[in-house]
Amino acid sequence: MEERIIGMYAKGMTTRDIAEYAKDIYGVDVSSGLVSTITDKILPLVTEWQNRPLHSLYPFLYLDGMVFKVRDQGRIVNRSAYIVLGINVLGMKEILGIWIGETEGAKFWLGVLTEIRNRGVEDILIASVDGLTGFGEAIRTVFPDAKVQQCIVHQVRNTLKYVVHKDRKSFAADLRSIYTAPSEEAGLAALEAVRTAWHKYAPYLKAWEAKWVELSPFFEYPEAIRRIMYTTNAIESVNRRFRKVTKTTSIFPHDEALMKLLWLAQRDISKSWTMSIQNWGEIMAQLAILWPEKIRL
């Protein structure tokens, strides 16, 4: 019965729903408090998982945060779940950890990255992130040689946010010419061409210039590597599955309740990762050429 209760909790059912379900299906009276007590039994497993040793090298790392509502001393506050997804040298996805903290910020990410380093990660080659200010500096403080790639998809979405509907499709097509260019020089030329063609939206393109240093690193790499690093879609896919599980709980009673559910969700998500990234052999061969001192086939 405890295993079934934990399984239902992992699918996003609330403690009240589980209590009612146990009564209806099994004829067992289980209070919401007892359900919470039963699910608390996984907390030692969460702690063990959160402190497990990690691989020494992750060629690709994705970092992102999600915001949830949590009760804290009678108040409802925002809590950020900091999630780190890695691709190891075997081409397998792996969630390195989940951290619950206050609203997302570069300072907290610095602590997360330091903890990852303390758990055995000596190097990351490429880190893909969203547009959070100071993210790149935080990563390079802990991993000085890491290449930081800001998500192109995030940048496109932010650029299109205030474009009128009738122009959006054409403008998006022209933006695509920037990040599909064959080289950084060609990308800058495409950016200038878009600015000239869409003079009324030129102010929206200033962010591309200001962030170009972290938007453009993918131009240095072959197509197979570009497809992995230029967007954070890999971790956003994980986040969507987290949202699916947590959507039934609008407000969590405390941080531990949020952490329990996210840990159970990541356990289910990880079970589906049974194969390496597509064309991983080709990607590793390219990485070995680019980083011969770090990648040895």
Residue from 210, 211, 229 nearest 219 by CA: 229
Give residue-wise pLDDT tens across range 225-278: 999 999 888 999 999 999 998 988 888 988 998 999 999 999 999 999 999 999
> Contact, 124 vs 101, CB < 8 A?
no
Q: How many CA atoms lie within 13 A of 43 on its CB side?
A: 10
State the pLDDT at residue 4: 81
Higher pLDDT, 18 or 155: 155
Task: Compute the average pLDDT of residues 67-72.
Answer: 92
Q: Compute the mean pLDDT over every residue in the chain, rounded to the nearest whole number.
A: 90
DSSP per residue over 139-200, as a string? HHHHSTT-EEEE-HHHHHHHHHTTS-HHHHHHHHHHHHHHHTSSSHHHHHHHHHHHHHHTGG
> Contact, 280 vs 45, CB < 8 A?
no
Q: State how far the Cα of 114 lies from the Cα of 135, in Å rounded to an integer.
A: 14
Strands (E), 16-152: 57-72, 75-87, 93-101, 123-129, 147-150
The pTM is what? 0.88
Token pair belonging to 230: 């230029």
State the pLDDT at residue 120: 96
Is pLDDT above 80 for 12?
no
Token pair belonging to 150: 């800001």
Confidence of residue 34 (pLDDT cuts 50, 70, 90): confident
Is pLDDT above 90 for 18?
no
Confidence of residue 78 (pLDDT cuts 50, 70, 90): very high
State the pLDDT at residue 5: 80
Token pair 């969203």 in the structure block, residue: 130
State the pLDDT at residue 14: 78
| Cβ neighbours for 45, distance < 8 A, ≥ 6 positions apart | 263
Q: State how far the Cα of 34 lies from the Cα of 126, in Å rounded to an integer.
A: 45
State the pLDDT at residue 26: 73
| Cβ neighbours for 196, distance < 8 A, ≥ 6 positions apart | none
What b/e readout covers 129-163, taking b as 16+ CB neighbours within 10 angstroms?
bbebeebbebbeebbeebbbbbbbebbbeebbeeb
State the pLDDT at residue 104: 67
DSSP 8-state symbol, 66: E
Give residue-wise pLDDT tens across range 157-202: 999 998 999 999 999 999 999 999 999 999 999 999 999 999 999 9
Task: Compute the average pLDDT of residues 19-29.
Answer: 76
Task: Compute the average pLDDT of residues 76-82.
Answer: 92
Token pair belonging to 279: 């064309």
